Copies of this chain bind each other. A is one copy, B any other.
Amino acid sequence: MGIENTSVVFRTILTVNLCGLYNWVSMRQWKTVSIIGVGLIGGSIGLALQRRGLAERVVGIGRRETSLDAALRCGAVTEATTDLGAGVADAELVVACTPVTRIVQHIRLAASACPSGTLLTDAGSTKGSIVEALTRQLKPGVAFVGSHPLAGSEKIGPESARDDLFDGRVVVVTPTAAAPTDWVSAIVEFWSSLGASVIQMTPEDHDRAVAATSHVPHVVSAALAAATDPGLLNLVAGGWLDTTRVASGDPQLWLQILRDNRPHVLKSLDKFAKVLNSFRDSIHEDDASRILELLQAGKQCRDAVGN
């Protein structure tokens, strides 16, 4: 298993690195990239590949004609099909951008229909169960390396796709010991070629981390919105609007994510609840120095990141 035997074309393009310096770098040019699921992430991959001249054909694969038509209209894909097997028949790279509970099934179907040598990856928000299910069960010459671009938002659909969605964003790639190094490198280079910074982690470390940085914030945001009396919505301002923004995300997608990453989400929620209780107690006891300490701890952590 390897990609040495495929005919790989590279393109040298001018990029700008994180220090603002321009570099000439070689990026792989794909003949055919197939994207399963042409929503915000899938559509943005298609747009980014084309803006950067990195793919001759971008095949969008989806269940609904309306989404595929929208993806075609906004130029996210060059062709579209509802037939997964036909859609990956010429693929050098397949990216599954479907909801987390569908990814394993879609990658298995793609693996059975794609040519030998095809790279397979995904964009799922959880990695443990997906990577475990896909590590050893694909056909010879085809392997899966898990990915998670940290670029989702409450917006959905190809209409929200942007060709710069991955510029400067982090993508976590989660190889296992079983993953051939050259496949992992190819997936890392793919995301880098779209403008992202790639971090490699184990699936377990990834799931533990994103429970804290993404899944618990979603639960907190949704709980805050749900706890707000609708009669007070004319009095919300910037703070409430920011803090509850992600609560607009698709409930079905988030249900899957929270269930799939249940143990880590629960641990991380308990850590949050502990800090919140401490906050509540300090306000109840009117303990000014403790309230200040907690406000300062929050500010310090938030300020460390920037906008």
Residues of A at the B interface (CB closer than 8 Å) are 150-153, 169-170, 172, 199, 209-210, 212-214, 216-230, 232-249, 251-252, 254-255, 258-259, 262, 265-266, 269-277, 279-280, 283-284, 286, 288, 291-292, 294-299, 301-305, 307
Of B172, B229, B301, the contact of A233 (CB 8 Å cutoff): B301
> Judging by beta carbons under 8 Å apart, are B209 and A232 in contact?
yes
> Judging by beta carbons under 8 Å apart, are A224 and B220 in contact?
yes
Chain B contacts for A169, CB-based, 8 A: 237
CA–CA, A111 and B47, complex, Å = 62
Chain B contacts for A237, CB-based, 8 A: 150-152, 169-170, 213-214
Q: Indicate whether A236 sits within 8 Å of B213 (C-beta atoms), given known contacts A273-B280, A276-B219, A298-B223.
A: yes
Q: Indicate whether A218 sits within 8 Å of B239 (C-beta atoms), given known contacts A272-B224, A273-B276, A280-B266.
A: yes
CA–CA, A146 and B76, complex, Å = 53
> Judging by beta carbons under 8 Å apart, are B246 and A238 in contact?
yes
Chain B contacts for A301, CB-based, 8 A: 225-226, 228, 230, 233, 244, 247
CA–CA, A20 and B246, complex, Å = 29
> Judging by beta carbons under 8 Å apart, are B235 and A271 in contact?
no
Residue of B nearest to A256 (CB): B288
A305 to chain B minimum Cβ distance, whole angstroms, is 6
Chain B contacts for A297, CB-based, 8 A: 222, 225-226
> Judging by beta carbons under 8 Å apart, are A238 and B280 in contact?
no
Chain B contacts for A230, CB-based, 8 A: 301, 304
CA–CA, A6 and B259, complex, Å = 67
CA–CA, A224 and B272, complex, Å = 6
A134 to chain B minimum Cβ distance, whole angstroms, is 22
> Judging by beta carbons under 8 Å apart, are B214 and A240 in contact?
yes
> Judging by beta carbons under 8 Å apart, are B251 and A295 in contact?
yes
